[in-house]
Amino acid sequence: MSVEKPTVEEVLVPKPEQRLRIYAWTPNDPPADYVGLIKVGQTAQTDVNARIKQSQGQMQQTYTLHVDEPAERQDGTVFRDNHVRQRLVDKGFENVKIGSSREWMRCTPADVKSAVVEMQKGLRLTGSHHETFEMRKEQKLAVAETANYYRSRWDEDAKAVPRFLWNAKMRFGKTFASYQLARELRAKKVLVVTFKPAVEDAWRTDLESHVDFDSWQYASKASGTDVVQLDQARPIVYFGSFQDLLGKEKSGGIKFRNEWVHTTNWDLVIFDEYHFGAWRDTAKELFEGEDDVVVKKAMKVEYAEGLAEVNDDLDVDLDEDDFLPITTRAYLYLSGTPFRALASGDFIEEQIFNWTYTDEQRARAEFAATKPNEWNPYGALPQMRLLTYKMPDEILAVASAGEFDEFDLNEFFTAEGTGSDAQFKYKDEVQKWLNIIRGQHSGQIESELKKGTKPPFPYSDVRLLPYLNHSLWSLPRRSSCDAMANLLAEKQNVFWHDYRVVNLSAPTIGVGLDALPPVRAAIAGGFDTKTITLTVGKLTTGVTIPQWSAILMLRNLKSPETYFQAAFRVQSPWSIKNPNGDKLGEELIWKPVCYVFDFAPTRALRQLSEYGIGLSPYESNPERAVADLMSFLPVLAYDGSHMTQIDAGGVLDIAMAGTSATLLARKWESAVLVNVDNDTLRKVLDSAEAMAAVQRIEGFRALGDNIIETIISKAEKIKGLKEKQKNGDLTPKEKKELSEEEKEYKSKRKLVQEKLIKFATRIPAFMYLTDFRENTLKDVITQLEPELFRTVTGLTVGDFDLLVSLNVFNSAHMNDAVFNFRRYEDASLAYTGIDSHEGLTHYGLFDTVVAIDDESA
């Protein structure tokens, strides 16, 4: 369904202030059956007495209200009236059923008050019941598509080991759905492998709490369960980390304790949070700025030891069997941000199930529109809003740097010293920034008086303030967190003294999940408190704190994966079903939306565009992919005088601001545009038409008639030698041979790669010579000038189309390069006064004209 663009007023959604309360009352003149009884109920209505009268129906009688207390534990979670009654039952009091009502207890008001206080202090009642919920529509679809793909591959080749990727955003329910897939496949042996051992709790809980897996058995290194002692006739799930399972002895062989993993015939292997290079490109970035001791400890807790070595193995361009020598029938990959895998072409379209933020929010809107009277399973998942702010020139002047002279948040929030001695390098300017986000900067006030308008600044707009009662501030360094905590506490900053500041960089705060208790203790129920949590990387992945409703991005994050992993911390649902106890389809949602505030607009919008395009690599038009995302993630941008809403075209233009012809040329010279992995080369070798096509690429024949066969055969030989090396059986002669073979293998692959890249650089020359405005690679292939294409590139359109279909040319990256070239060319022509394409919107952000010299052509 299409979603209309929200207005600025609709972006700033009022925040509900209702809270759940537990009440207890007795009738003043009770009928005989009610003598000695007290009714324990719950409501989200502000006036408890109104709710009691409403619940009495026609039997209106006088009563005494004994208990009226918030239903919140100290850790911020909410309990219900049935939890209080169960606590009383556990103490020996009778739960009396009168008609259909189960709310009456035979006890005193003091007994109820005691039970409520115990719940408020943190008592949890788990009970012995099992979960019975069914899969949601998208989970069923993921299981069906994946199982069907596996079976189709097995039908073609009984020995095939198919691979499938779930590009599944958090809250998809990947653990539960993965187990349902294993159940659908009738798997008896399931191996779950992850980079983050801390997620084990979710895998174990889902297996042990649902009736569908009642007979299944769970084992892991942490659980201490001996797999050999388990009933082999019943399904077994083993959970382990990459670091442990891939770890080797000093001799290079498999760890003795893990040999059984490699000798077991697994039915399904699940890679959780899996993507190549996770350590270098995303996980490591989270902790940049912490001191070495904190970083090492954080990495050990979050990712366990040995991750760097594991990534060295994963970086090789070989199959799974090369780095994880196990036997399995199928692989399932799970990740919420698999940009590298999507962009590199590791998975083709039929091997991917997508459930993105956009899918989630579209499902939420469609359900609300088509079933308005039913409980919406997506209703509590808040919609995100991105608000960006351009800083005044006096602040930009102290910290603008980089390739595009952008506002450098890392530099601006640079601090010296630690603990109570920490101070910002630009303390006066940071103090002004604190005034700006409150709408109190003198320059702002003067400007607003002239215009008669007041833009929505985070800590000044009455619509935004409630969402900032509990916020996360992401800063570049530990010293920055210390300096911010010190500055907020200074006497002149009276406004900020209402907020309890939790500095996660303080030496007393633990790492991993150990950093959670101080935050939860500060937030408590979340209704009567206000907090600001300062962090570098702690608690920015894999945690749920429902009361966080806003994040302030105060550091430069390089990758969209890291940026949105942190941003999605504030998208956790905060709600309670059936708040008044009488409508199963009712849900009280305390956080209908959530906010990301960013003060480096160009960088923020670049992240947004990369995220939108990265999540939809097969979308025919990148602008449409970004527009699709923005229909559920609206963007408001403050340019220094006005707050306006930006559309997808504006985001893409701003994201490309500063792009030069040189930078665009580099895109067309990048190795990511072509694939020369063994699987791709085998596909080319097996196709006479494809072999003929690559032979027509200029200079390819000079590499030799059998270069592709040579590369593949050397890869097979290297694979065999590496297998012997893993088992410690490699002789000194073979070790030398392995080194020489690897050197020649990489050299020949490099030659093939260079020829393919040289061909790719001719495509922008062809585009520049055509009148057609290409948005995508498909446009390049299907437009109506085949002779010109052959003249410029040396290949026919058919040849190129065939090589693209075999993944020789990476369609996702090439789509991006084609689209960027088109937007750059159009904007450049607009600068010269030429209307290049009817209906195209220009934003006047480019000040150079595309220049393609003879060499690049």
List pLDDT tens digits, range 211-262: 899 889 999 888 888 888 899 999 999 998 776 776 555 555 556 567 788 7
pLDDT, residue 845, reads: 27
Closest CA to 797 of 819, 770, 826, 837: 770
pLDDT at 279: 39
pLDDT in the model for residue 666: 60
What SS3 class is residue 384?
A: strand
Distance, in Å, from the CA atom of 550 to the CA atom of 571, rounded to the nearest integer, reads 9
pLDDT above 90 for 171: no
pLDDT at 633 exceeding the cut of 80: yes
Element (H, E) at 435: helix 427-436
The span from the CA of 615 to the CA of 626, in Å, is 9
- Residue 169 pLDDT class (50, 70, 90 cuts): confident
Of residues 794 and 781, the one with the higher pLDDT is 794
Q: Do 351 and 395 sit in the same domain of this protein?
A: no
Among 318, 339, 355, residue at a domain's last position: 355
The mean pLDDT value for 764-789 works out to 68
What is the C-alpha separation between 395 and 429, in angstroms, rounded? 6
Q: What is the mean pLDDT of residues 532-536?
A: 96
The arithmetic mean of pLDDT across residues 815-821, rounded, is 70
Residues 445 and 594 in one domain: yes
* In the predicted structure, residue 72 carries a pLDDT above the cut 50: yes
Q: Are residues 49 and 102 in the same domain?
A: yes
In a domain, residue 683? The reply is no
| Residue 742 in domain | no
Count the Cβ atoms, other than its own, within 10 Å of residue 238.
23
**Alpha-carbon span 816 to 614, nearest angstrom:** 10
Q: Which are the contacts of 536, defined by CB distance < 8 A and separation ≥ 6?
A: 286, 287, 288, 289, 290, 474, 475, 476, 477, 478, 480, 481, 504, 505, 555
Per-residue pLDDT, averaged over 188-203, amounts to: 81
Of 355, 379, 410, which one is at a domain's C-terminal end? 355
Q: Judge whether 128 lies within some domain.
A: no
| pLDDT for the residue numbered 701 | 83
Least confident range of 148-162, 331-345, 442-456? 442-456
Given the structure tokens 């150990």, which residue do they identify? 514
- Tell me the residue ranges of DSSP E strands in 606-688: 635-638, 643-646
Quick one: pLDDT at residue 402?
53
- Helix 797-805 to helix 688-695 angle (10° resolution) is 120
Q: What is the pLDDT at residue 838?
A: 43
Put the strands of the sheet holding 63-70 in their side by side order. 63-70, 21-27, 38-43, 101-106, 94-98
Shared domain check, 329 and 374: no
User: What would the two tokens of residue 798 be?
Assistant: 């058919």
Give the number of other CB atoms < 10 A from CB of residue 707: 19
User: Does residue 729 sit within a domain?
Assistant: no
- CB-based burial label for 533 (10 Å; 0-12, 13-18, 19+): buried
Helix (H, G, I), strand (E, B) or coil at 172: coil
Distance CA 387, CA 384 (A): 10
Alpha carbon of residue 71 to chain centroid: 31
Name the residue with higher pLDDT: 171 or 380: 380
Residue 242 lies in a domain: yes
Whether the pLDDT of residue 550 is over 80: the answer is yes
Strands in 390-512 per DSSP E? 400-401, 406-407, 415-416, 423-424, 470-474, 500-503
Q: Is the pLDDT of residue 718 over 50?
A: yes
Looking at the fold, whether 378 and 335 belong to one and the same domain comes out as no
Look at residue 487 in the predicted model and tell me its pLDDT.
98
Left if phi > 0, otherwise alpha if psi is -120 to 50, otherwise beta: which for 2? beta
Place 525 in a pLDDT band, splitting at 50, 70 and 90. confident
- Regarding whether 368 and 321 lie in a shared domain, the answer is no
CB hemisphere CA count around 698 (13 angstroms): 11
Beta pairing, strands 531-535 & 470-474 = parallel
User: Bigger pLDDT: 229 or 620?
Assistant: 229
Least confident piece of the model among 78-87, 366-375, 804-813: 804-813
CA 67/CA 75 separation, integer angstroms: 22
Range 405-417 average pLDDT: 88
Question: Does the pLDDT of residue 857 top 70, yes or no?
Answer: no
Least confident window among 283-287, 612-616, 788-792: 283-287
| C-alpha Rg value of the chain to the nearest Å | 30
When mean pLDDT is compared across 3-12, 17-26, 473-482, 546-555, the lowest value belongs to 3-12
Same domain, 320 and 390: no
Instruction: Tell me, yes or no, whether 432 and 340 share the same domain.
Output: no
- What confidence tens digit (pLDDT) does each residue in 339-357 have? 766 666 677 788 999 998 9
The answer to whether residue 551 sits within a structural domain is yes
pLDDT at residue 446, as a whole number: 56
Q: 46 and 73 share a domain?
A: yes
3-state secondary structure of 553: strand
Tens of pLDDT along 102-127?
Answer: 899 999 999 999 999 999 887 766 54
d(C-alpha 626, C-alpha 611), whole Å:
8
| Per-residue pLDDT, 66 | 96
Indicate the residue among 655, 689, 718 that finishes a domain. 655
The better pLDDT of the pair 49, 834 is held by 49
Q: Which domain holds residue 64?
A: 21-120
* Torsion sign over Cα 708, 711, 714, 716: negative
**Mean model confidence pLDDT for the chain:** 80
In the numeric block, which tokens belong to residue 567? 């941003």
Supply the pLDDT for residue 435.
94
Q: Nearest to residue 774, comparing CAs of 746, 816, 744?
A: 816
The phi and psi torsions of 334 (rounded to 5 degrees) equal -125, 130
The tokens of 852 are what?
Answer: 């393609």
| CA proximity to 595, closest of 792, 767, 461 | 461
Euclidean distance between CA atoms 440 and 459, whole angstroms:
10
Answer whether residue 819 is part of any domain. yes
Average pLDDT on 10-19 reads 83
State the pLDDT at residue 150: 96
Which residues are bridge partners to 210 per DSSP? 131
> pLDDT confidence of 514, banded at 50, 70, 90?
confident
Residue 737 domain-assigned? no
For residue 836, what pLDDT is reported?
43
φ, ψ of residue 805 to 5 degrees: the values are: -65, -25
Residue 641 has a pLDDT of 74
Helix (H) or strand (E) holding 98: strand 94-98
Most confident segment among 92-96, 170-174, 557-561, 730-734: 92-96
At residue 846, the pLDDT reads 28
Which residues, in sequence order, are bridge partners of residue 522?
none
**% of the chain with per-residue pLDDT over 90:** 34
Is residue 795 over pLDDT 70? yes
Cβ(574)–Cβ(366) below 8 Å = no
Same domain, 669 and 614: no
CB 619 within 8 A of CB 625: yes
Examine the domain organization and report whether 336 and 385 are in the same domain. Answer: no
Residue 249 burial (C-beta neighbours within 10 Å; 0-12, 13-18, 19+)? exposed
Query: 844 pLDDT exceeds 50?
Result: no
Among 350-354, 358-362, 582-586, the range scoring the smallest mean pLDDT is: 582-586
Please give the backbone phi and psi of residue 39, each rounded to the nearest 5 degrees, phi first: -95, 125
Task: Calculate mean pLDDT across residues 359-384.
Answer: 92
Give the integer Cα–Cα distance in Å for 71 and 67.
11
pLDDT band at 842 (very low <50, low <70, confident <90, very high): very low
How many domains does the chain fold into? Answer: 4
Residues 369 and 423 in one domain: yes
Question: What CATH number should be reported for the domain holding residue 546?
Answer: 3.40.50.300
Amino acid 405: pLDDT:
55
CA distance 382 to 548: 11
